[in-house]
Amino acid sequence: MTRLTAPTTTSGVHPVAVALARRAGLVATGLLHGGRKVRRPGRRPAGTAEGVTALEADVLALGWLIGPRLRAALAALPAERLASVGHGLLTTLETAVGAHAPHVPLFKDFPRRVPADTQELYVRRMFALLLQRPEQPCVLCGRVRTVHPVSPCAHLTCVACWDEGYTACPICHRRITDGPFLPVVAPPSGGRTLALPRRAELLELADDVDRAVHQALAALLARRTPLSPTDQRDLLALVDHAGPAEPTWLPDEVPVRETRALLLDRLLAGPVEPAPTAALLDRYVTTATDVLRLLAVRDGGDPGLVESPKRRGSLPRPLRRALLARLDALGLPALLADLPRHRDRWLAAAENLHPFEQPARHPEAATAFAVLRRTTVTPDSRLGRVVAEVVAAYAPLIRPVAGRLHAASPAARVEAALASGDVDTAVELLAHRPGELLRRAVALAARGGAPERLCAAVAAAARTGSPGVLIAALGAVRAATWPAGTRLFFPRGGRARLWAEPDRRPRLPAVVGGELEDLLVTELRERAARLPRVDVALLDAALADLMAPFAERTASDALVRLPRGSARPLPDGRRVRLFLHWTEPAGTRVDLDLSVAMIADDGGFVGWCDYTRLRFGDTAAVHSGDLTSAPAPLGASEFVDLDIPALTRRGIRYVAMVVFSYNDVPFEEMTDAFAGFMGDPGNGAPFEPKAVEQRFDLTGRVKIATPLVVDLRSRALRWIDATMTGTGGEHSVARYSRTLARLTVAADEHFAAGRRVSLWELACWHAAGRADTVLVRGRDGGLTGYRRADGESPAAFAGRLTARGPADEVPDGIAEPRFAALVRGDVALPAGAQAYALHRAELDPERVTLLGAADLLADLAPRR
Bridge partners (DSSP) listed for residue 808: 785
Residue with the larger pLDDT of the pair 614 and 502: 614
Q: Residue 616: which pLDDT band, with cuts at 50, 70 and 90? A: very high
Predicted confidence (pLDDT) at residue 261 exceeds the cutoff of 70: yes
Region of poorest pLDDT, from 34-43, 493-502, 539-548, 797-806: 34-43
DSSP string spanning 276-291?
HHHHHHHHH--SHHHH
Cβ pair 284, 263 in contact under 8 A: yes
Expressed in angstroms, the distance from the first to the final Cα of the chain is 38
**26-27 β-sheet, strand order:** 26-27, 201-205, 64-66
Region of poorest pLDDT, from 360-364, 372-376, 553-557: 553-557
Predicted confidence (pLDDT) at residue 864 exceeds the cutoff of 80: no
Cβ pair 232, 265 in contact under 8 A: no
Q: Decide: helix, strand or coil at residue 763.
A: helix
Tell me the per-residue pLDDT of 492-514, one tens digit each, with 9 for 90 and over: 544 446 677 777 778 888 888 89
Q: Residue 5: which pLDDT band, with cuts at 50, 70 and 90? A: very low
DSSP string spanning 327-373?
HHHH-HHHHHHHGGGGHHHHHHHHHHH-TTSSGGGSHHHHHHHHHHH
Give which of 288, 814, 838 is closest to 543, Cα–Cα: 838
The rounded distance, in Å, linking the Cα atoms of 781 and 450 is: 49
H or E element: which one contains 824?
strand 819-824
Quote the strand ranges of 701-800, DSSP E: 704-711, 716-723, 773-777, 783-787
Q: Decide: helix, strand or coil at residue 538.
A: strand
Region of poorest pLDDT, from 214-223, 438-447, 476-485: 476-485
Bond prior to 633 in cis (omega within 30° of 0): yes
pLDDT of residue 2: 30
For 513, half-sphere exposure in the C-beta direction (CA atoms, 13 angstrom radius) is: 17
Cβ pair 474, 517 in contact under 8 A: yes
User: Inter-axis angle of helices 363-373 and 382-393, to 10 degrees?
Assistant: 100
The rounded distance, in Å, linking the Cα atoms of 157 and 227 is: 51
Q: Residue 11: which pLDDT band, with cuts at 50, 70 and 90? A: very low
The rounded distance, in Å, linking the Cα atoms of 441 and 476 is: 9
Q: What CA–CA distances, in Å, run from 518 to 104, 470, 511, 529?
A: 55, 12, 10, 16
Predicted confidence (pLDDT) at residue 41 exceeds the cutoff of 70: no
Cβ pair 564, 548 in contact under 8 A: no
pLDDT of residue 813: 74
pLDDT of residue 313: 66
Residue with the larger pLDDT of the pair 752 and 714: 714
For 322, half-sphere exposure in the C-beta direction (CA atoms, 13 angstrom radius) is: 23
Alpha-carbon Rg for the chain in angstroms: 30
Average pLDDT (485-489) is 74
Q: Residue 44: which pLDDT band, with cuts at 50, 70 and 90? A: very low
Predicted confidence (pLDDT) at residue 363 exceeds the cutoff of 50: yes
Report DSSP state, residue 102.
Answer: -
Pairing of strands 201-205, 26-27: parallel
The rounded distance, in Å, linking the Cα atoms of 838 and 540 is: 11
Region of poorest pLDDT, from 252-261, 312-321, 645-654: 312-321
Burial tier of 546 (Cβ tally within 10 Å: 0-12, 13-18, 19+): buried
Instruction: Give the angle 806-808-809 at the CA atoms, nearest 5°.
Output: 145
Pairing of strands 147-149, 156-158: antiparallel
Average pLDDT (658-676) is 92
| Amino acid at position 433, single letter | R
Tell me the per-residue pLDDT of 692-718, one tens digit each, with 9 for 90 and over: 999 999 988 888 999 999 999 999 999
H or E element: which one contains 597?
strand 592-599
DSSP string spanning 293-307?
HHHHHHTT--TTS-S
> Residues of 110-140 as b/e, b for ≥16 C-beta within 10 angstroms?
bbeebeeebeeeeebbeebeeebeeeeebbb
The rounded distance, in Å, linking the Cα atoms of 45 and 36 is: 13
Bond prior to 111 in cis (omega within 30° of 0): yes
Tell me the per-residue pLDDT of 189-244, one tens digit each, with 9 for 90 and over: 655 677 888 898 989 998 888 888 988 898 899 887 788 888 898 999 999 888 76
The rounded distance, in Å, linking the Cα atoms of 166 and 157 is: 11
Predicted confidence (pLDDT) at residue 729 exceeds the cutoff of 80: no
Predicted confidence (pLDDT) at residue 307 exceeds the cutoff of 80: no
Q: Residue 9: which pLDDT band, with cuts at 50, 70 and 90? A: very low
Highest mean pLDDT among 269-273, 308-312, 401-405, 652-656: 652-656
Residue with the larger pLDDT of the pair 142 and 486: 142
552-752 CATH = 2.60.60.30
- State phi, psi for 498 to the nearest 5 degrees: -100, 135
Residue with the larger pLDDT of the pair 70 and 394: 70
Q: What CA–CA distances, in Å, run from 274 to 280, 293, 295, 355?
A: 10, 20, 18, 18
Contacts made by residues 629-633, CB under 8 angstroms, sequence distance 24+: 629/173, 629/174, 629/175, 629/584, 629/589, 629/590, 629/591, 630/175, 630/582, 630/583, 630/584, 630/590, 630/592, 631/175, 631/177, 631/583, 631/584, 631/586, 632/583, 632/584, 632/586, 632/671, 633/102, 633/583
pLDDT of residue 633: 87
Region of poorest pLDDT, from 34-48, 344-358, 532-546, 767-781: 34-48
Report DSSP state, residue 758.
Answer: B
Residue with the larger pLDDT of the pair 478 and 395: 478
> What counts of helices (H) and strands (E) characterise the chain?
28, 27
pLDDT of residue 71: 92
Average pLDDT (171-184) is 79
Burial tier of 158 (Cβ tally within 10 Å: 0-12, 13-18, 19+): buried
Average pLDDT (467-473) is 90
Cβ pair 508, 444 in contact under 8 A: no
Average pLDDT (175-188) is 73
Average pLDDT (730-745) is 86
Region of poorest pLDDT, from 32-36, 323-327, 409-413: 32-36
In percent, the amount of the chain with pLDDT more than 70 equals 93
Give which of 759, 358, 305, 245 is closest to 547, Cα–Cα: 759
Cβ pair 442, 508 in contact under 8 A: yes
Q: Kindly list the domain boundaries of the chain, sorted by start residue.
A: 256-407, 426-529, 536-546+757-858, 552-752
Cβ pair 434, 465 in contact under 8 A: yes
Highest mean pLDDT among 75-79, 166-170, 637-641: 637-641
DSSP string spanning 794-821?
HHHHHHHHHTT-SPBP--TTPPPPSEEE
Q: What CA–CA distances, in Å, run from 660 to 595, 711, 725?
A: 8, 21, 11
pLDDT of residue 43: 43
Ordered alpha helix ranges (H), 354-504: 363-373, 382-393, 410-419, 423-430, 434-439, 441-446, 451-462, 467-481
The rounded distance, in Å, linking the Cα atoms of 386 and 390 is: 7
Cβ pair 843, 825 in contact under 8 A: yes
Region of poorest pLDDT, from 194-198, 561-565, 624-628: 194-198
The rounded distance, in Å, linking the Cα atoms of 242 and 70 is: 23
Q: Decide: helix, strand or coil at residue 552.
A: helix
The rounded distance, in Å, linking the Cα atoms of 348 and 314 is: 12
Cβ pair 748, 708 in contact under 8 A: no
In percent, the amount of the chain with pLDDT more than 90 equals 36
Tell me the per-residue pLDDT of 291-306, one tens digit each, with 9 for 90 and over: 999 999 988 888 888 7
DSSP string spanning 486-502?
EEEE--SSTTTB-EEEE
Region of poorest pLDDT, from 12-26, 461-475, 783-797: 12-26
The rounded distance, in Å, linking the Cα atoms of 771 and 107 is: 57
Region of poorest pLDDT, from 250-259, 393-402, 473-482: 393-402
pLDDT of residue 457: 92
- Indicate the average pLDDT of the chain: 86
Report DSSP state, residue 187.
Answer: P
Cβ pair 203, 92 in contact under 8 A: no
